[in-house]
Amino acid sequence: MGEKKHAFHSMCSYLGCFPPRVPRQALQALTRRGDLVLDPFCGSGTSLVEALLLERPCVGVDLNPLAVTLARAKTQPVEARDVLTRLRELASEYPGGADMESVPEAVHTFFHPRTLAQLVYVKEQLGDSPEDLFLRGALLGIMHGKFRKGGGTAYLSIDMPNTFSMSVGYVQKFVRKHGLKQPPVDVFHQLRERVVWLFRGGPIPESPRATILQGNATSLPVLLETARISQVDAVVTSPPYLGVLRYGAFNWLRLWFLGFEPIAVDRALDGTDSLDRYLSFMTSFLLSAGQVVKPSGAVALVIGDVVEYGNHLPLAERVWEEVSGVVPFDLVRIDQDNFDEKSKTTRIWGEEKKGRATPLDRVLILRRRAQRKVSSRLGSTGADSRKAKAG
């Protein structure tokens, strides 16, 4: 328990990500060094970082482009000196301005004109090298946030109450109410400070490696085939929540930087907003996972309890009731974990807005059967359900 988490976990806030100790414990209990681990709802890459630190190669899958960007950034085998060299190169080539005609007016609300010009320049210059992938992830983490008590800031924006993108109307009222001014912060300086801070615990090991794929967790065989992977040794993941988390709306500023429309992202991730749809989706996912997990391979699903129609629902148990006899897995056990609510990013909304989630996670542990059994109930599953997760 008292293990210190790697700094890369704090690269950027992400809705609903679970504490690193949860996947670490599952990985230690269910896998061995060298095992190939899959997280089909990888979110910002929490379980992937833990897998690499434990010397397990890994594959991450998510539908959310923000999640894919962050997971790739965190799992790059890069050194601080190379990332800082690339940042100095970007700073030295900065022409002193940028074309901001295409920048939405809402974005201007957050940043000083000089800061925004630098931000647009960096946005256009970053490519797909390991150093650029890391810089992109690090920059997403400092797009906006709260000032320090002394007035200083590690962020690029006006002083905001949290690190999620509130609506433009809310921000404009917040700015007027508190008389806020956009600070003329230097993007290159702030990004350098962030990189140094992230590397304070050292880099991720160069070996083993991670593969990050954007796609649907109900189509795992097809997805993994694109990476020339046929089977994995284990799955460790936290599936989508029962209910809608608006990953697009609450990250619209970061998605602007990445070139994606938040509405399109939320539309793609929609699909688990009712218990029936959720159970159908989970059945489709586990049928897909059954095609890529090796015989006797373990699956650990971290599923939080919820309140449904005023009743406390142990959702992990309900999922197993639904899929038992349909999917090619046997139940090993269901563990219970009372997590610290401060470790979950959904805490920012307070008690009245946390929705159906409760401060209790259960870990549903399954084992892939050696022989696949085909159930007559197979045709009743919702194979077209779609949803990504955050980790």
Looking at the structure, tell me whether residues 235 and 374 fall in a common domain: yes
Q: What is the pLDDT of residue 210?
A: 97
Amino acid letter, residue 312: H
User: Closest Cα partner for 239 from 40, 80, 384, 46?
Assistant: 40
Averaged over successive runs of 10 residues, the pLDDT of the chain (391 residues) comes to 81 89 96 98 97 98 97 96 98 95 91 96 97 98 90 90 78 84 94 97 92 97 97 96 81 95 89 86 97 98 84 92 97 79 42 51 94 46 40 48
Looking at the structure, tell me whether residues 41 and 136 fall in a common domain: no
Three-class SS of residue 189?
helix
Looking at the structure, tell me whether residues 111 and 163 fall in a common domain: yes
Looking at the structure, tell me whether residues 62 and 93 fall in a common domain: no
Would 228 be classed as within a structural domain? yes
Q: Other CB atoms closer than 10 Å to residue 91's CB: what's the count?
A: 17
Say if residues 388 and 65 touch (Cβ distance below 8 Å): no
Domain boundary among 143, 168, 201: 201
Looking at the structure, tell me whether residues 95 and 188 fall in a common domain: yes
**CATH of residue 54:** 3.40.50.150
Total domains in the chain come to 2
Would 53 be classed as within a structural domain? yes
Looking at the structure, tell me whether residues 127 and 192 fall in a common domain: yes
Looking at the structure, tell me whether residues 96 and 63 fall in a common domain: no
Say if residues 109 and 256 touch (Cβ distance below 8 Å): no
Looking at the structure, tell me whether residues 20 and 61 fall in a common domain: yes
Looking at the structure, tell me whether residues 85 and 66 fall in a common domain: no
User: Closest Cα partner for 236 from 79, 363, 77, 75?
Assistant: 363
Would 258 be classed as within a structural domain? no
Q: What is the pLDDT of residue 178?
A: 82
**Cα-based distances in Å from 229 to 69, 211, 301, 359:** 21, 10, 21, 36
Would 213 be classed as within a structural domain? no
Range of the domain at 61: 7-71+218-245+271-380
Looking at the structure, tell me whether residues 34 and 63 fall in a common domain: yes
Looking at the structure, tell me whether residues 360 and 318 fall in a common domain: yes
Q: What is the pLDDT of residue 358?
A: 57
Looking at the structure, tell me whether residues 121 and 224 fall in a common domain: no
Domain boundary among 201, 229, 253: 201
Three-class SS of residue 272?
coil
Would 2 be classed as within a structural domain? no
Tokens in use for 147? Answer: 């000032």
Would 63 be classed as within a structural domain? yes
Tokens in use for 384? Answer: 């077209």
Q: What is the pLDDT of residue 346?
A: 41
Dihedral Cα 266, 309, 19, 237, nearest 10 deg:
-60
Domain boundary among 173, 201, 229: 201
Would 363 be classed as within a structural domain? yes
